[in-house]
Amino acid sequence: MNTTPQNPELNKKRALSCIQPTGIPTLGNYLGAMRNWVAMQDEMDCAFAVADLHAITIRQNADQFRRQIYEMFALLLAVGLDPEKSLLFIQSQVPAHAEMTWLLACHTQFGELTRMTQFKDKSAKHNDNINLGLFAYPSLMAADILLYQPNYVPVGADQKQHVELTRNIAERFNNLYGNVFVVPEPYIMKNAARVRSLQDPTKKMSKSDENQNAFISLKDSPDVIMRKFKRAVTDSEACVKYAEGKDGINNLMEIYAAVTDKKLDDIEAEFEGKGYGVFKAVVAEAVIETLRPIQQKFDDLMKDKSYLKQLMKEGSIRAQAVSHRTLNNALKKMGFVLV
């Protein structure tokens, strides 16, 4: 995201996406979001953040957490995000996020937060640590977004509620103090694949699944990927055909289509008369080849922490320039004394 004024008529639309460093993303995260972020860089003025502040609503081991932040930043680079095209930064390295959160928290209603489904879900999973951050983190998410004045926030269906709350907060603030924030819209990404669990294809693929065979991690080795696909749930028909009631095979066909750009009809024709064993192996090989260059670049980046830290520093400087303009404008409008 550019930090210098431009001719507004020449400006691209802005978009912002954040991802938590709570484990290695899955094939579903890549095909459903991250791959599309790469394409967005040429269409929009984009900002991407590793949302490490969000991760601490759940207790983290410090050494592991630090490694996960490095890994997520390296993965964003490995999948193709380009710091020359986009603003790429670590959330905690930009103080304006925490400052803006307090301003927006004071304009977020208690009832709005109680209706957030993710708070209910996470409270149920972590009932020994239902902290204020877990309850109020949608205000932090709103700060993440509004600081960069994006027109769009790429989201999946499970995140649309947060964008709607952000819109409500922005409109409330603007009505009180004047035109401070762009009111963003959810952006449903084109060609976003819906990747399901390999063990329960009625659910989406998730890195938090207790069954390790249910998801493909972007760091899984070729042998592991092959084994997981061979164990994928299908049905008893042994017919590679996209149809209602064939959730398992439909999921494998959609994955294969996403990594090869083949149409479902063509896939059916390609595997006519062939069993599921053959098909699973071919899907696994296609995924392995898709992930191979990403894994290689990731491994190279993780060997050079000083380079990663330099890119983080450059990103934080750029992000601070953008975010402080918005923060200072909000503070001024509210009546704070700036020096």
For 212-298, the fitting CATH number among 1.10.3720.10, 1.10.240.10, 3.90.79.10, 3.30.590.10 is: 1.10.240.10
Do the two domains 8-193+305-334 and 212-298 of this chain adopt the same fold? Answer: no
Instruction: Specify the DSSP element, H or E, that contains 335.
Output: none
Residue scoring higher pLDDT (229 or 117): 229
The one-letter amino acid code at 232 reads A
Contact predicate 108/139, CB 8 Å: yes
Least confident of 26-40, 180-194, 293-307: 180-194
Fold of the domain built from segment(s) 8-193+305-334: Rossmann fold (3.40.50)
Cβ–Cβ < 8 Å for 276, 249: yes
Give per-residue pLDDT as tens, 237-263: 989 999 999 999 999 999 999 999 999
Give me the active site residues, please: 122, 204, 207
CA distance 147 to 97: 8
Domain residue spans of the chain: 8-193+305-334, 212-298
pTM of the model: 0.91
218: three-class secondary structure by DSSP = coil
- Report which residue type is found at 319: A
> Tell me: the pLDDT tens digits for 79-98?
999 999 999 999 999 999 99
Is residue 2's pLDDT more than 60? Answer: no
C-alpha span between 267 and 38 (Å, rounded): 26
